[in-house]
């Protein structure tokens, strides 16, 4: 949980200080006044980078040398202080005022789950978006997964170089290709096992979450579509000639996908805008629940512009079913239909031109 948040030179914020509500924060402000940026800052504090594939430098306010995010948090029921400085020369993180040697020792001290409008591409976009989501979230649950993944990527890169070289140079060492294939197969198996286990859990969880928000939609079904699911070594060897012709490894975890379905029907051509938004929202809330169940910690949930395209019933259901132990931030341009309903305990955080206009606590 975030108890205090302080931003310095972070995008359009020059100096900003907020004591958020422990439960629900409704962040209200007009377009371009800094709502998304505020959520991005909390995400960056936790993950040391933007939720968008944006370069670190873009987080620094135009004309400034560095950006800084400091927060007082609660981690495993103990107060903590986290700080991240992003300079043009690199970034530095501190936990309880001690600089961390490796960022991987720091990530995980604050769990966050973010819904951003770009995340609709998880359903609408291509498989690389879905793989990125998988890798990020599994990494949050099982940090060793990320090092396994980077080892896999390293081997893949070398193997692809050898395959390309093999196209032009007939003398190329076939033994080397054999060794790399064997290593890649071993590393791929670990990744595919972790992904498969995660998707089984997530599929179960999303079917618990979804009916709370959209009971009238068909049940969401999530399945893993690996490009190779077993006998990696045999499969990679079988494809070797094909891979040499293509000059690249044509199957493996880097070509996997996830399928989203409404019962038996694929979501993509069939679901409405609001339904897709609901699915992605349910997916993110399911991740938050998994983090809670597996790590026994409540992640901070950041929901950017989640209400647009959701009808009043879905908006109401979302607010009603947020886990009461979870700290949530929801941005919107206005309170709109929320004014008419009884909200749980919350604060309204008003943002105006990159400054805090005021905070109203309700309970």
Ligand X SMILES: Nc1ncnc2c1ncn2[C@@H]1O[C@H](COP(=O)(O)OP(=O)(O)OP(=O)(O)O)[C@@H](O)[C@H]1O
Which chain residues interact with ligand X by CB under 6 A? Answer: 11-12, 29, 31-37, 58, 60-62, 305, 333
Give 229 or 333: the residue with its C-beta nearer to ligand X. Answer: 333
Whether residue 316 contacts residue 341, with contact meaning beta carbons closer than 8 Å, is answered with yes
Rounded distance between C-alpha atoms, residue 111 and residue 81, angstroms:
14
> Among residues 54 and 197, whose Cβ is nearest to ligand X?
54
Question: Which listed option, ligand X, Mg ion, none, makes contact with residue 61 (CB within 5 to 8 Å by class)?
Answer: ligand X
| Those residues with Cβ within 8 angstroms of residue 341's Cβ, 6 or more apart along the chain or in another chain | 316, 319
Report yes or no: 321 and 213 within 8 Å, Cβ to Cβ: yes
* 3 state SS of 251: coil
Chain length of the chain: 363
When CB distances are held under 5 to 8 angstroms depending on the partner's kind, the choice from Mg ion, ligand X, none that residue 32 binds is ligand X
Least distance CB 137 / Mg ion (angstroms): 22
Q: What is the DSSP string of 34-102?
A: SHHHHHHHHHHHHHSS-SSS--GGGGBPTT-SEEEEEEEEEETTEEEEEEEEEETTEEEEEETTEE-SS
Q: Which is nearer to ligand X, 120 or 206 (CB)?
A: 120
Closer Cβ to ligand X, 35 or 183, answer by number: 35
Nearest distance from C-beta of residue 32 to ligand X, angstroms: 4
Q: How distant is the alpha carbon of residue 324 from its chain centre? A: 22
Chain residues in the site for Mg ion (CB under 5 A): 35-36
* C-beta of residue 195 within 8 angstroms of C-beta of residue 227: no
At its nearest, how many Å lie between ligand X and the CB of residue 39? Answer: 8
Torsions phi, psi for 273 (to 5 deg): -55, -50
Taking the complex as a whole, the smallest distance from the CB of residue 303 to ligand X amounts, in Å, to 12
Task: Find which of Mg ion, ligand X, none residue 62 binds, CB within 5 to 8 Å per kind.
Answer: ligand X
Nearer Cβ to Mg ion (29/226)? 29
Which partner, ligand X, Mg ion, none, binds residue 33 by CB below 5 to 8 Å per kind?
A: ligand X
Q: How far is the CB of 241 from ligand X (least distance, A)?
A: 49
Minimum separation from the CB atom of position 58 to ligand X (A): 6
């Amino acid at each position: 949980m975030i108890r205090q948040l302080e931003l310095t030179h972070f995008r359009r914020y020059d100096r900003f200080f907020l004591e958020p509500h422990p439960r629900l924060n409704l962040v209200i402000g007009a377009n371009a006044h800094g709502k998304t940026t505020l959520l991005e800052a909390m995400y960056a504090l936790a993950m040391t980078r933007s939720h968008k594939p944006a370069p670190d430098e873009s987080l620094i306010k135009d004309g400034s040398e560095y950006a800084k995010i400091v927060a007082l948090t609660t981690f495993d029921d103990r107060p903590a202080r986290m700080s991240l400085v992003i300079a043009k020369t690199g970034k530095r993180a501190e936990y309880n005022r001690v600089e961390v040697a490796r960022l991987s020792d720091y990530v995980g001290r604050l769990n966050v789950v973010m819904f951003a409008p770009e995340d609709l591409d998880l359903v609408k976009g291509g498989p690389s978006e879905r793989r990125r989501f998988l890798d990020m979230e599994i990494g949050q649950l099982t940090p060793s997964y990320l090092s396994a993944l980077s080892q896999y990527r390293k081997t893949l890169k070398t193997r692809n170089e050898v395959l390309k070289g093999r196209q032009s140079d007939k003398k190329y060492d076939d033994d080397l290709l054999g060794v790399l294939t064997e290593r890649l197969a071993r590393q791929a198996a670990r990744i595919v096992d972790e992904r498969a286990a995660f998707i089984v859990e997530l599929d179960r969880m999303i079917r618990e979450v979804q009916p709370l928000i959209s009971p009238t939609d068909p049940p969401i079904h999530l399945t893993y579509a690996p490009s190779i699911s077993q006998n990696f070594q045999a499969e990679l060897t079988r494809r070797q000639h094909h891979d040499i012709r293509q000059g690249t490894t044509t199957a493996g975890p880097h070509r996997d996908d996830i399928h989203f379905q409404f019962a038996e029907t694929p979501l993509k051509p069939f679901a409405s805008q609001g339904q897709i938004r609901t699915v992605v929202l349910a997916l993110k809330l399911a991740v938050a629940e998994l983090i809670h169940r597996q790590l026994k910690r409540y992640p901070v949930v950041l929901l950017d512009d989640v209400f647009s395209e959701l009808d009043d019933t879905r908006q109401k259901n979302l607010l009603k079913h947020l886990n009461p132990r979870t700290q949530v931030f929801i941005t919107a341009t206005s309170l709109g239909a929320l004014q008419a309903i009884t909200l749980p305990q919350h604060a309204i955080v008003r943002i105006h031109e990159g400054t805090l206009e005021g905070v109203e606590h309700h309970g």
